[in-house]
Amino acid sequence: MQGALKQNITKELMTGLYADHRAAIAANDYPALTARRENAIHRFEELGFPTTKLEAWKNTDLRESFAKEYAVVLKPKQDVDVQKVFRCNIPHLDTAIMGQLNGWYVSKDVPLMELGNGIIMGSLAEAMKKYPALIGVHLGRYADTNGDAFTALNTAFSQDGVFIYVPDNVKSPKPVQIINVIHNDENLFLQSRNLIVLGKNSRLSLVHCDDSYNHQPSFSNVVTEIHLGEHASLDHYKLQSLNNESTLISSVYFRMEASAKLESHYISLNGGLLRNNIRIRFNGPHGDAKIYGIYLMDRKQHIDNQVFVDHAYPDCTSGELFKGILDEHSSGVFNGHVLVERNAVRTNAYQSNKNILLTETAKVNSKPFLEIYNDDVKCSHGSTTGQLDQDAMYYLRQRGIGEDSARMLLMYAYADEVISKIAIDPLRYRIEDMVKKRLQGELQICEACVLHCNTPEQPVEFVIDMTKI
């Protein structure tokens, strides 16, 4: 399929491609998986690509993304210099790095690493061959293939991605970093699938980056399933810094068993159209999930965060805090949905979405929704949209701080409420740095991806340096 023709992506094209290449797509499958693909393509055919007529897509119009032509690549070429693409580091942060190129796992050495403590990480395709039983228990079990067209499409087509397994009682000694770089000479239409399994009482910090390598348009449909076993704990960071021509549909399905603990951070700095479907299901009591988001959009960028939390069991706690700054012609959507089921007593849930509009052409749609079916709950939500606090602006200026600096200081402080929640210090410093650059318009999508540095980068001297004092 190399050098595939660029064409308009339609439902018919995709179902046709599937019919023509089903054997190749399913080459690595265990039998149940092939059946799931068949089912999924059928479901995708019924659903079709979403349009703004659907409530869930009302404020995100994909027509512009679909107006571009893309090549659908069923098998990747691996002739890039892996060493050149992945030389990432965060100063002072020692991470285990996994690379993905155009959604496919790329290995520096081996496709699947098995560490001494039992942790397995590497290519999902490889893991399907080697550990079909382990994969079979989880893969496709949490993602909503039935209701979500993109997930159905992904289930039908996806062949590879990242697999991480942390066995029971194992605490990953260092953070794991997944770097997914989109890099091709063609416009790509991509499907990739990740599976992350945390055993009972295990622990993992995961930094998941989506970056572009150049200005080539791309359309990625990424589905990630994450299973947290009982008492497992996951610190999850999603960093998005794609070029303005890229469309990313990222669906992450979290399944949380009893007493599991999740902290997820969505840091969206760039991208043409970013859609984050974040779906969390508590599958046992005493779970705790916190989801934080910060998005800084400008030009004609669009971000849509859809957060669904299903409180299916008692005594769970969930919290959402999403904050955005929208500049120029950008637009933002927040759609939060907390469902408290009948038996989920003693539920504690809050949602908060705050937006700042910097221009007359930026816009925001916010819909924090609570759906509650029992009385023993404490739920709240709030949504604020406005401008920077004018009283604070005046106060800063009265102290002699110029308007631009004052605005920068306040924007930074505004973002800091979310960034300060990042628990890993070096990562937080790095992200603070990036946010500062982004707010000053200095963070461009360039040859280097966000965390990809040719030389350990000199921290930029800022007029306002929050971190060093």
Partner 1 sequence: MESDPNKIIGEVTQSDYKYGFVTDIETEYAPKGLNEDTVRFISKTKNEPAFMLEFRLKAYRHWLTMKLPTWAHLDIPPIDFQDIYFYAAPKKKKQYESLDQVDPELLATFEKLGISLEEQKKLAGVAVDAVIDSISVKTTFSETLAKYGIIFCSMSEAIQHHPELVKQYLGSVVPYTDNYYASLNSAVFSDGSFCYIPKGVRCPVELSTYFRINAANTGQFERTLIVADEGAYVSYMEGCTAPRRDENQLHAAVVEIVAMKDASVKYSTVQNWYPGDKNGTGGIYNFVTKRGICKGSNSKISWTQVETGSAITWKYPSCILLGDNSVGEFYSVAVTNHHQQADTGTKMMHLGKNTKSTIISKGISAGKSNNSYRGLVRITKNASNSRNYSQCDSLLLGSTCGAHTWPYIQVENKSSIVEHEATTSKISEDQLFYCQQRGMDAESAIGLIVNGYAKEVLKQLPMEFAVEAQKLLSISLEGSVG
Partner 2 sequence: MLLSIKNLHASINGKEILKGIDLDINQGEVHAIMGPNGTGKSTLASVIAGREVFDVTEGEIFYKNKNLLRLAVEERAREGIFLGFQYPVEIPGVSITNFMRTAVNELRKYKGLDPLSGGAFLKLMEEKKELVELTSNLANRSVNEGFSGGEKKKNEIFQMAMLEPTLAILDETDSGLDIDALRVVANGVNKLRTKENAFLVITHYQRLLDYIIPDFVHVLFEGKIVKSGTKELALELEEKGYDWIRKEQQDNGKAE
Binding site for partner 2 (CB under 8 A): 389, 391-392, 394-403, 405-406, 409-410, 412-417, 420, 463-466, 468-469
- Three-class DSSP labels, the chain: CCCCCEEECCHHHHHHHHHHHHHHHCCCCCHHHHHHHHHHHHHHHHHCCCCCCCHHHCCCCCHHHHHCEEEECCCCCCCCCHHHHCCECECCECCEEEEEECCEEECCCCCEEECCCCCEEEEHHHHHHHCHHHHHHHCCCCCCCCCCHHHHHHHHHCCCCEEEEECCCCECCCCEEEEEEECCCCCEEEEEEEEEEECCCCEEEEEEEEEECCCCCEEEEEEEEEEECCCCEEEEEEEEECCCCEEEEEEEEEEECCCCEEEEEEEEEECCEEEEEEEEEECCCCCEEEEEEEEEECCCCEEEEEEEEEECCCCCEEEEEEEEEECCCCEEEEEEEEEECCCCCCEEEEEEEEEEECCCCCEEEEEEEEEECCCCEEEEEEEEEECCCHHHHHHHHHCCCCHHHHHHHHHHHHHHHHHCCCCCHHHHHHHHHHHHHHHCCCCCCCCCCCCECCCCCCCCCCCCCCCCC
CA distance 36 to 190: 19
Min dist CB 466 to partner 2, Å, is 5
Give me the 21-40 binding string for partner 1, x by CB under 8 A, dash otherwise. Answer: --------------------
Min dist CB 188 to partner 1, Å, is 33
Q: By C-beta, is 127 or 267 nearer to partner 2?
A: 267
Q: Does 377 bind partner 1 (CB under 8 A)?
A: yes
Q: Does 465 bind partner 1 (CB under 8 A)?
A: no
Min dist CB 53 to partner 1, Å, is 12
Q: Does 407 bind partner 1 (CB under 8 A)?
A: no
CA distance 31 to 28: 10
Name the residue with tokens 């499958």: 29
| Cross-strand pairs, 164 | 121, 196
375: partner contacted, choices partner 1, partner 2, none (Cβ within 5-8 A by kind): partner 1
End-to-end Cα separation, the chain, in angstroms: 54
Min dist CB 396 to partner 2, Å, is 7
Min dist CB 389 to partner 2, Å, is 7
Return the residue of 200, 300, 381, 437 that touches partner 1, per CB under 8 A: 381
90: partner contacted, choices partner 1, partner 2, none (Cβ within 5-8 A by kind): none
Q: Does 293 bind partner 1 (CB under 8 A)?
A: no
365: partner contacted, choices partner 1, partner 2, none (Cβ within 5-8 A by kind): partner 1
Q: Does 364 bind partner 1 (CB under 8 A)?
A: yes
Min dist CB 289 to partner 1, Å, is 18
Q: By C-beta, is 188 or 377 nearer to partner 1?
A: 377
CA distance 442 to 101: 26
Q: How far is CA 140 from the centre of its chain?
A: 18
Q: Does 439 bind partner 1 (CB under 8 A)?
A: no
Q: Does 378 bind partner 1 (CB under 8 A)?
A: yes
Q: By C-beta, is 51 or 117 nearer to partner 1?
A: 51
CA distance 444 to 432: 16
Q: Which part of the chain contacts partner 1 (CB under 8 A), choosing from 139-147, 287-295, 311-319, 364-372?
A: 364-372
Return the residue of 13, 80, 370, 410 that touches partner 1, per CB under 8 A: 370
Min dist CB 325 to partner 1, Å, is 11
Min dist CB 373 to partner 1, Å, is 5
Q: How far is CA 113 from CA 130, 175, 432, in A?
A: 12, 15, 32
Q: By C-beta, is 13 or 401 nearer to partner 2?
A: 401
Q: By C-beta, is 38 or 417 nearer to partner 2?
A: 417
Cβ count near 46 (within 10 Å) = 11
376: partner contacted, choices partner 2, partner 1, none (Cβ within 5-8 A by kind): partner 1
55: partner contacted, choices partner 2, partner 1, none (Cβ within 5-8 A by kind): partner 1
Min dist CB 413 to partner 2, Å, is 3
Q: By C-beta, is 213 or 412 nearer to partner 2?
A: 412
277: partner contacted, choices partner 1, partner 2, none (Cβ within 5-8 A by kind): none
Q: Does 299 bind partner 1 (CB under 8 A)?
A: no
Q: By C-beta, is 19 or 469 nearer to partner 2?
A: 469
Q: Does 362 bind partner 1 (CB under 8 A)?
A: yes
Q: By C-beta, is 175 or 368 nearer to partner 1?
A: 368
Helix axes 11-25, 149-157, angle to 10 degrees: 30
Q: Does 355 bind partner 1 (CB under 8 A)?
A: yes
Q: By C-beta, is 369 or 395 nearer to partner 2?
A: 395
Which residues of the shown chain bind partner 1 in the complex (CB under 8 A)? 55, 342, 345, 355, 357-360, 362-387
